[in-house]
Amino acid sequence: MPDAPPATHTPVTHSTALHSLCQPLSHDAFLDHARQLLTRLYPERYEEVLRRMETLLDFHRPRLAPRIPAGEVLWSERDQWLITYGDSLQQPDEAPLATLNDFLASHLGECLSGAHVLPFFPWSSDDGFSVVHYREVNPALGDWQDIRRLSEQRDLMADLVINHCSRESLWFADYLAGVQPGRDYFIEMDPETDISAVVRPRPSALLTPVHTRRGLRHLWATFSDDQIDLNFGNPDVLLEFIGILLYYLEQGARMIRLDAVAFLWKRLGTSCIHLEETHAVVRLLRAIVDHLAPGSLLITETNVPHTENMSYFGLDRLVEAEQEGGKSVAQADEAHLIYQFTLPPLTLHTLTSGDASALTAWANSLPTLPAGCSYFNFTASHDGIGVRALEGLLPDHERDTLVRLVHDFGGYVSMRANPGHPDTPYELNISYFDALKGTRRGRDPWQIERFIASQTLMLSLQGIPGLYIHSLTATPNHQEGVERDGHLRAINRRKWHRDELEALLASPNTATHEVFHALKRRMELRREEPCFHPDAQQHVFDMGPDFFVFERVNHEGRRLLFALNVTDQPRVLPVPEHWQNIPLTDHLCHDKAFDPDMARRPYQAAWLMEQTVRAPAIEVV
């Protein structure tokens, strides 16, 4: 066996990092922080806005309480989430939210700690992300009682669709009529205005014409002409959304997802993305959550290049916070979690190229996060596979290779506008299962193994994993949905009839059965392994292009080595130096003794541990 390349990091055997703990924000500290932020947002009106906000918070305060006690951990290795629409599962004569709740209880039990139910409000387009009524549940899905039942069984994530609303909303009707409150909720713009600097996520026009009682007006619409951007330069809009956020927490949500938040604030002459005011709004919402409902979590959804995405932790503004034992530790004051948007396309690149070099380099670049911050890891979601996160990590020709592969495997590509330049790829529209049908050489027999490898990798990385329902069910491309709905993202948004899904799960000869049970058992193992605590340290090793290798070390020094053969050929794993000459067992292979001279199968993953460190053996297929 060749000598192992040197470790990327200096090995450690013990981590002194403390867990992220629930840190309530006192009333005085909150007011000081809020005043600073509001002064930045509304320098002429901050005292008035602060008074109005205090009145709003006092109204909601009696109905809110800490989600977890002060000093308790915010998350653990048992945190594992499902991403799903409210009607991804359907059954005759039953509200889809009730069907979902029963299915999760019947088939996944304690494997899942939480569920992200995508927008469950009345909507007019974009499968929920063009909200008509923010404080109502779409009656086609169920009602608030169904939402509360879900939240009683597991943690619930709700979307705060904060950047825009539907043109069918009452706010927009007010705007058209020129009456309050909606009259000043939107952004009018002269169509001759130079907006060439504005970053675009879509190829459509930024300004959409609207006929009002005052004549033709042009409104800012970042995503579509049915999703009209809201004017956060008007403090009434901010106060409206603070009230909505608190209402969702009252209805049982523990995590609030800030949808498309990067585009929130507009200032002509700038890119209108990631502006200082946008970050100030996120910090204010974090302060409100930590003050009124400590233990609740904010997560930002920003499908942008990796370094830009990382900015939503607010790592450049670390503050000191008291933790367990009176120790003062650095803590960020922006989002608790960010979506790890780099992971889906980079994993796809790795497993279809058979080369882990880029993935290893990226994972090695991730910083040590302060207390109260973690990643939300995922490979698939209701949207496509965003490729903006690859900017600066892969050359354009590698991105274009992914585009060709997706076309070959039955998918599509959505584009974004670049003023003065050709449109460029924005996201790949394909089911993640079918995106892994083969490699650059074409389709092969390894689709299921390759797909399970992608999910095992995601479950193993530092952070909290989120599995899309169509990953659990190995759902192929839903071409009928694209033809029926007329939009590309429908390819990955199938609605299962429960009886049909149950039949596939019961049949051992289906991909659905094999993938579902393999992932379920990995989740059962993971939730019992302390090395997968989100705060457990992660150290990446460069073991050559054939393997992706890292170790997880918890605060007590317990170690686990993850290794994945990313190729379609048997390969011998070059074990990192400080793991050599130690008897190891593979937790993914029934704690079988690990033979360092035996070749790992194509796409085989390992969770290696010292033989003296035993965990409950759960059979994994």
Which positions are annotated as active-site residues?
A: 259
3-class DSSP assignment, residue 460: helix
Q: Which residues pair with 548 in a beta bridge?
A: 564
Contact between 98 and 498 under an 8 Å Cβ cutoff? The reply is no
DSSP H/E element including 171: helix 170-177
State the sign of the Cα–Cα–Cα–Cα dihedral 165, 171, 177, 180: negative
**What separation in angstroms does the CA of 470 have from each of 232, 467, 515?**
35, 8, 11
Backbone phi, then psi, for 189, in 5-degree steps?
-150, 135
Q: Which structure tokens are listed for 607?
A: 């969770």
Distance CA 496, CA 501 (A): 6
State the sign of the Cα–Cα–Cα–Cα dihedral 125, 126, 130, 136: positive
3-class DSSP assignment, residue 132: coil
Distance CA 583, CA 611 (A): 6
Q: Please state whether the peptide bond connecting residue 201 to the residue before it is cis, i.e. omega within 30 degrees of 0.
A: no
DSSP-derived letter for residue 44 is: T
End-to-end CA, the chain:
28
Phi-psi region of 325 (alpha: psi -120 to 50; beta: other; left: phi over 0): left
Distance CA 466, CA 83 (A): 6
Distance CA 288, CA 565 (A): 45
Q: Which structure tokens are listed for 43?
A: 């320098």
3-class DSSP assignment, residue 381: coil
Query: Nearest Cα to 219, choosing from 260, 259, 266?
Result: 266
Per-residue buried b or exposed e for 535-555, using 16+ beta carbons within 10 Å of the residue's own CB: bbbbbbbbbbbbbbbbbbbbb
Contact between 301 and 201 under an 8 Å Cβ cutoff? The reply is no
3-class DSSP assignment, residue 7: strand
Query: Nearest Cα to 360, choosing from 539, 537, 541?
Result: 541
Amino acid at 125: S
Backbone phi, then psi, for 386, in 5-degree steps?
-65, 135
Query: Nearest Cα to 388, choosing from 334, 435, 428?
Result: 428
Distance CA 278, CA 290 (A): 19
Query: Nearest Cα to 518, choosing from 579, 427, 567, 450?
Result: 450
Contact between 241 and 289 under an 8 Å Cβ cutoff? The reply is no
Backbone phi, then psi, for 463, in 5-degree steps?
130, -165
**Strand 421-429's sheet: what is its strand order?**
385-386, 421-429, 412-418
- Measured in whole angstroms, how far is the alpha carbon of residue 52 from the centre of its chain? 32
